[in-house]
Amino acid sequence: MCGIVGVVGNRNATDILMQGLEKLEYRGYDSAGIYVANGDNSSLVKSVGRIADLRAKIGIDVSGSTGIGHTRWATHGQATEDNAHPHTSATGRFVLVHNGVIENYLQIKEEYLAGHDLKGQTDTEIAVHLIGQFVEDSLSVLEAFKKALSIIEGSYAFALVDSEDTDTIYVAKNKSPLLIGLGDGYNMVCSDAMAMIRETSEFMEIHDKELVILTKDAATVTDYDGNEIERDSYTAELDLSDIGKGTYPFYMLKEIDEQPTVMRKLISTYADSEGNMNIDPAIVKSVQDADRIYILAAGTSYNAGFASKAMLEKLTDTPVELGVASEWGYNMPLLSKKPMFILLSQSGETADSRQVLVKANEMGIPSLTVTNVPGSTLSREATYTMLLHAGPEIAVASTKAYTAQVAALAFLAKAVGEANGKAEAAEFDLVHELSIVAQSIEATLSEKDMIADKVEKLLSTTRNAFYIGRGNDYYVAMEASLKLKEISYIQCEGFAAGELKHGTISLIEDGTPVIGLISSSELVAAHTRGNIQEVAARGANVLTVVEEGLEREGDDIVVNKVHPFLATIGMVISTQLIAYYASLQRGLDVDKPRNLAKAVTVE
Ligand code: M6R
């Protein structure tokens, strides 16, 4: 979703902005632009489409040492050049980039901007006109910015440049992510650290409703009343090589391949050399004290919550309930007496999940964020954090974060179960079992060509498909179908195998692809096979993914057996590859599917 980058100081701003925007591409966008200040030769360049399209429009004359850039994921108004950021005030003096949604932009337009001629339809253009208007009304730039912030409602990350004084970038944020990067003789502002690590590894957080006056030598943080806030910087442990594709054609394939390494990394992080759990005792106690665990998340992270539910319940003896974050933020159901909230989020920035966390904090509910991004908003604002240690996930389609989430929750579940004195938890040799999972993943990954071949036969021309399974296989089916539809645009449903005959089976016709997942007990497997027969009898084109030991002649993909608590990890890998090859074979942009963003920072 929208990305912001800005730099002020002694560097080549054009180069830094373009490099930064390229690093922000993964977030999803449909237009982009930069503003580079240079007196009368300042440049504002925008383009619909990819960063490469923007780059093609940038000549050598676009140079300077202060600038702001933006990737826009359309919310208000279509993806057009007029709607692309940066936006300018009525006189062109002020230039603004924005991430978020200004909820009261129409009221602002009516109340303050009568007679203003707006080029596009965005809420951002209204914000920069508002600031410009206040300066026209004789406020200083800082006062005008603060006054605008006091009026604007909603979510925002802003970076503002005054073309008449380009030694400063004015920055503010509320609910949308934004981070300061500190350099020697230059400073930066950006939506995330990854887009700045080529330039610096020293960062400073900005909290909601804070303003930063950024110059080449200082980043002064204040509240909206102008009170200065002391804020320490920190050094990020990020490795530039982590965010390269290497020899891979797409990040998604690289990230799928990284999963055995991620499993091993989690073992070394959350267990000691004797195999004892290495989880913050305060987190364990907090879960122990709860009478119910609520997992709140969106998309793949939500599916990872389901994939972990049975294991969490069995090991901790605590009921687990799942909630769609976008629903719970505003429709919180009746909770148990002693709830514990677990926010699952790869990015740690999902606005829907954050809204739930804001509510939970207001209600005094203890919370744990399980995320891949240290220092992310959800991590900062929850009571506790557990990190996924999966390395940056760049492809929009989440893969390694899903398996890392299930594995991380397994460590938590075992630690809590052991603390509760549960024999099943003590007997569950997680370190050993997760090592087997890593090997199972490797075995599936070695079958890529075979899987690609099957995908070509099954999915090359279809417009729709089904994944079916029971129990944990149903939960994997949910994730498998999300993955397939988001990157191949095949309409796909993940269905409880037994539920099909209650209505949805009417959609099955000659050639409808149905992928059956079978990893549970013999008994459950037999029932799923019955459901597969039912669709086959109605013309479905069936592909089976079966756990070793349950296979029969004619099955398509056989997955190595792993411990039942971790079977969702074992089963999901081939479905990730199915989605990858379906997208690839259709000639689509696997890493950047249309309409989607990596970090969904608006509600
Ligand atoms: O960063 P999060 O895990 O909070 O993101 C939640 C969803 O937006 C995300 O999982 C999305 O569904 C993925 N693109 C799916 O691959």
Ligand 1 centroid from CA 149, angstroms? 30
Please give the domain boundaries of the chain with CATH numbers for all domains. Answer: 3-241 (3.60.20.10), 251-585 (3.40.50.10490)
Model confidence at 51, pLDDT cuts 50, 70, 90, reads very high
Is residue 546 over pLDDT 80?
yes
The 10s digit of each residue's pLDDT in 67-106 is 999 999 888 889 899 999 999 999 999 999 999 999 999 9
Angle, in degrees to the nearest 10, between helices 430-445 and 400-419: 160
Q: Is 350 in the pocket of ligand 1 (CB under 6 A)?
A: yes
Q: Is 346 in the pocket of ligand 1 (CB under 6 A)?
A: yes
pLDDT at position 91, please?
A: 96
Report which DSSP code applies to 40: B
Strands 156-162, 179-182: pairing kind: unpaired
Q: Is 347 in the pocket of ligand 1 (CB under 6 A)?
A: yes
Two structure tokens written together for 565: 């608590």
Ligand 1, pocket-test mutation among 387, 398, 478, 595, most atoms within 8 A of CB = 398
Model confidence at 27, pLDDT cuts 50, 70, 90, reads confident
Is residue 521 over pLDDT 90?
no
- Distance in Å from the first CA to the final CA of the chain: 11
Map tokens 């920069």 to a residue: 128
Q: Is 591 in the pocket of ligand 1 (CB under 6 A)?
A: no
Strands 94-99, 66-72: pairing kind: unpaired
Please tell me whether the peptide bond between 86 and the residue prior to it is cis, using omega within 30 degrees of 0. Answer: yes
Ligand 1 centroid from CA 18, angstroms? 26
Is residue 244 over pLDDT 80?
no
Tell me, yes or no, if 561 is annotated catalytic: no
The 10s digit of each residue's pLDDT in 316-357 is 999 999 999 999 988 999 999 999 999 999 999 999 999 999
- Rounded distance, CA 210 to CA 227, Å? 10
Residue with CA at minimum distance from ligand 1 atom 8: 299
Q: Is 600 in the pocket of ligand 1 (CB under 6 A)?
A: yes
Ligand 1, pocket-test mutation among 194, 303, 347, most atoms within 8 A of CB = 347
Answer yes or no: are the C-beta atoms of 297 and 325 closer than 8 Å: yes
What integer is the mean pLDDT of 371-394?
93
Tell me, yes or no, if 216 is annotated catalytic: no
Give Cβ neighbours of residue 470 (< 8 Å, ≥ 6 apart): 496, 497, 498, 520, 524, 527, 528
Helix (H) or strand (E) holding 545: strand 541-547
pLDDT at position 240, please?
A: 67
Answer yes or no: are the C-beta atoms of 102 and 126 closer than 8 Å: yes
Residue 351, amino acid: A
Instruction: Encode 556-566: b = buried (16+ Cβ within 10 Å), e = exposed.
Output: bbbbbebbbbb
pLDDT at position 177, please?
A: 87
Ligand 1 centroid from CA 598, angstroms? 7
Neighbours of 310 (CB within 10 A): 17
Report which DSSP code applies to 86: P
Which of 2, 190, 265, 485 is flagged as catalytic? 2
Which atom of ligand 1 is closest in space to residue 599's alpha carbon? 1
What integer is the mean pLDDT of 518-523?
86
Q: Is 301 in the pocket of ligand 1 (CB under 6 A)?
A: yes
Map tokens 């579940």 to a residue: 413
Model confidence at 1, pLDDT cuts 50, 70, 90, reads confident
Ligand 1 centroid from CA 283, angstroms? 24
Is residue 227 over pLDDT 90?
yes
Map tokens 């000639």 to a residue: 587
Is residue 551 over pLDDT 70?
yes
Which atom of ligand 1 is closest in space to residue 596's alpha carbon? 14
Ligand 1, pocket-test mutation among 489, 600, 602, most atoms within 8 A of CB = 600
- Rounded distance, CA 237 to CA 97, Å? 28
Answer yes or no: are the C-beta atoms of 28 and 602 closer than 8 Å: no
Give the rounded percent of residues in the chain with a pLDDT score beyond 70: 99
